[in-house]
Chains A and B, each alone.
Chain A
Amino acid sequence: MDNRKILVIGGGVAGLEASKQLLRLGLHPVIVERSERLGGHVAGWYKLFPDMRPASDVVNQLVEGVKGATVYLNTRVAYMNRLKDGFSVMLGNGTGLHCRAVLITTGFRLFEAARKEEYGYGVYDRVITNSDLEAWFGGEADGRIPDNPRTVAFVHCVGSRDLKAGNQQCSKVCCMTAVKQAIEMKEKFPDAEIWCFYMDLRLFGKKYEDFYINAQQQYGVHFVRGRVSEVSEDIAGRVVLKAEDTLTGHPVKLSADLLVLMSGMLCNRDTESLAAMVRAEVDSDGFLRSRDNICNVNESNRPGVFFAGACTGAKTVPETLAEARAAALAVYNYMSGND
């Protein structure tokens, strides 16, 4: 193995963890990240469930781990061609590379909340998303968040489980994110009443149910089973939500000082064009298609093309990291002919 270069497309937590492991396995990862920073979405979050560890901590630790890898920021892949012994790659910055394998770790994009027009994102002053709230927790100013909200409402499943919006999948992390953010808001504003409007509470992971019980018991967060059908604004500038409380069977109305939309996770827009370059496939949900969803989640249908993280579907950070490690091993086995 003379040429040990592995192209890693995307410098989020998946790309970083996989690169760290590739380095340890004696390979040479080349990380191509289209934005100006490493860490992907996690670099924009404040504290991570379930341990409430600062996201910056996790990202710094991962970035530390890729010392020795080649990193290109603000760079995209212009084209990739399959050769007999790997791929010839041209980057947007004019760099040409010859890589033995390609690991795609391009992650997800957040559903554009403005597309659910009935929720008024970008129209009413007091409507933000989960991602906006994380940024604000992290210290970014946000004029939409009032100084002392009395009522804060969270809407689950925004752009998820929504056939009409073109995404029938559950985004998996947003129930937990909502409960986490509800608790964080109550800690910041102890006098506020916090309401979560959900269709189902999907709290599948380690310690997630503890968050739910704590949110109820310790923080008095209210949970209403029903999808918010519309939002309007009253003269005072508060948002007025309408939903059905499906457990009592009554329509309900709530005026809130802040509305937080739990935007879902969708595939990246350029997934298709990227996949086409290496003739990998896109699945019916728009995410990259694994060779097998049980045994070979990390592998594409093409030799030498691997996946890790949220580019194959909604995932949490620990799941992403575990996949990244598995992908590095799959690449190593492929390179060593152990397939």
Chain B
Amino acid sequence: MIDFGFSLSKSSSIKLDEVDLSLYRRLEEVEPGVRICMGCGSCSATCNASKWSGMSVRKVILDLQRGRDMKEMLSCCMLCGKCSMVCPRGINTRHLILSLCRLYESGK
């Protein structure tokens, strides 16, 4: 590569029809509830880890649906289960996080 003395920042645009959803699809199989998240943010609002670490189940789910790697964020979760108590769609979010961790583990 020729060094022109400047760089281009990577496009942040997501091509929805090209994203790799394989991980999300595997999660759907073990946690079908993930599909009915409506992005309300109750889970992240109540999460004790959220304000220190940025942990958000809402973001984990949405970003997985956009093909992003969410492994790092998962490490911020203390698995306390508060989020599961408040989800109005009744998603077992804590279990969902565990399942996702397992999927990341097994995919290593």
Binding site for B on A (CB under 8 A): 151, 193, 195, 212-213, 216-217, 220, 222, 224-225, 245, 247-248, 250-256
- Asked if B63 CB lies within 8 Å of chain A CBs, one says yes
Asked whether any CB of chain A lies closer than 8 Å to the CB of B13, the reply is: yes
Complex interface: chain B residues within 8 A of A213 (CB): 36, 89
Of residues 1 to 20 in B, which have CB atoms within 8 Å of A's CB atoms?
12-17
The smallest C-beta distance from A194 to any residue of chain B, in angstroms, reads 12
Say yes or no: A251 contacts B13, CB within 8 Å.
yes
Q: Which residues of B contact A222 (CB under 8 A)?
A: 16, 65
Please report the C-alpha to C-alpha distance between residue A245 and residue B36 in the assembled complex, in whole angstroms: 18
**Beyond A222-B65, A245-B66, is A250–B14 a contact (Cβ under 8 Å)?**
yes
Closest Cβ–Cβ distance, residue A129 to chain B (whole Å):
22
Partner of A253, one of B15, B38, B62, B89: B15
Contact call B16/A252, Cβ cutoff below 8 A: yes
The residues of A that contact B35 with a CB separation of less than 8 Å are: 216-217, 220
Q: CB-CB contacts of B85-108 with A at 8 A, as 1s and 0s?
A: 000010000000000000000000
B39 in the interface, Cβ–Cβ < 8 Å?
yes
- Interface of chain A, helix or strand or loop or mixed? strand
For A224, the chain B residues whose CB sits under 8 A away are: 16
Chain A residues with CB under 8 Å of B65's CB are: 222
Residue in B16, B62, B63 whose beta carbon sits within 8 Å of that of A254 in the complex: B16
Is B54 engaged at the interface, CB distance under 8 Å to the other chain? Answer: no
* Residue ranges of B at the interface with A (Cβ–Cβ < 8 Å): 12-17, 32, 35-36, 38-39, 59, 62-63, 65-66, 89
Residues in chain B near residue A225, CB distance under 8 A: 39
> What CA separation (Å) do A203 and B15 show in the bound complex?
28
A225 vs B66: C-alpha distance when bound (angstroms) = 13
Chain A contacts of B14 at CB under 8 A?
A: 245, 248, 250-253
Nearest to A212 among chain B residues (CB) is: B38
Would you call A250 and B12 a contact (CB within 8 A)? Answer: yes
Of A193, A212, A247, the contact of B17 (CB 8 Å cutoff): A193
Provide the residues of chain B in CB contact with A220, threshold 8 Å: 35
By Cβ-Cβ distance, the 10 closest A-B pairs, closest first, are A254-B16, A251-B13, A252-B14, A216-B36, A216-B35, A253-B15, A217-B36, A217-B35, A250-B14, A255-B17
Rounded to whole Å, the gap between the CB of A239 and the closest CB of chain B is 11
Q: Which of A212, A216, A252 contacts B13 (CB 8 A)?
A: A252
Contact B13 A247 (CB under 8 A): no
Residues of chain A within 8 A (CB-CB) of B59 are: 248
Residues of A within 8 A of B32 (CB): 217
**Are the C-beta atoms of A247 and B62 separated by less than 8 Å?**
yes
Min Cβ gap B96→A in Å is: 14
Known pairs A216-B36, A217-B32; A251 contacts B16 (CB<8 A) = no
Q: Report Cα–Cα, A112/B49, bound state, in Å.
A: 50
Chain B residues with Cβ below 8 Å from A250 are 12-14, 66
**Chain B contacts for A245, CB-based, 8 A:** 14, 66
* Nearest-Cβ distance from residue B92 to partner chain A, whole angstroms: 14
Distance between A201 CB and nearest chain B CB, rounded to angstroms: 8
* B16 near A253: Cβ-Cβ < 8 Å: yes
Interfacial chain A residues near B12, Cβ < 8 Å: 250-251
Kindly identify which residue among A193, A212, A248 contacts B62, using a CB–CB cutoff of 8 Å: A248
* Closest CB in chain A relative to B32 CB, distance in Å: 7
> Which chain A residue shows the least CB distance to B19?
A252
Q: How far is the CA of A269 from the CA of B32 in the complex (A)?
A: 48
Interfacial chain A residues near B38, Cβ < 8 Å: 212, 216
Query: How many Å lie between the Cα of A242 and that of B87 in the bound state?
Result: 31
Question: What separation, in Å, do the CA atoms of A225 and B40 have in the docked complex?
Answer: 12
CA separation between A222 and B13, bound complex, in Å?
Answer: 18
Q: Which residue of A lies closest to B32 (CB)?
A: A217
A220 to B15, CA, bound (A): 18
Interface pair B13/A248, CB less than 8 Å apart = no
B39 contacts A195, CB within 8 Å? no
Q: In the complex, A33 Cα to B10 Cα: how many Å?
A: 59
How far apart sit A216 and B13, CA to CA, in the bound complex (Å)? 24
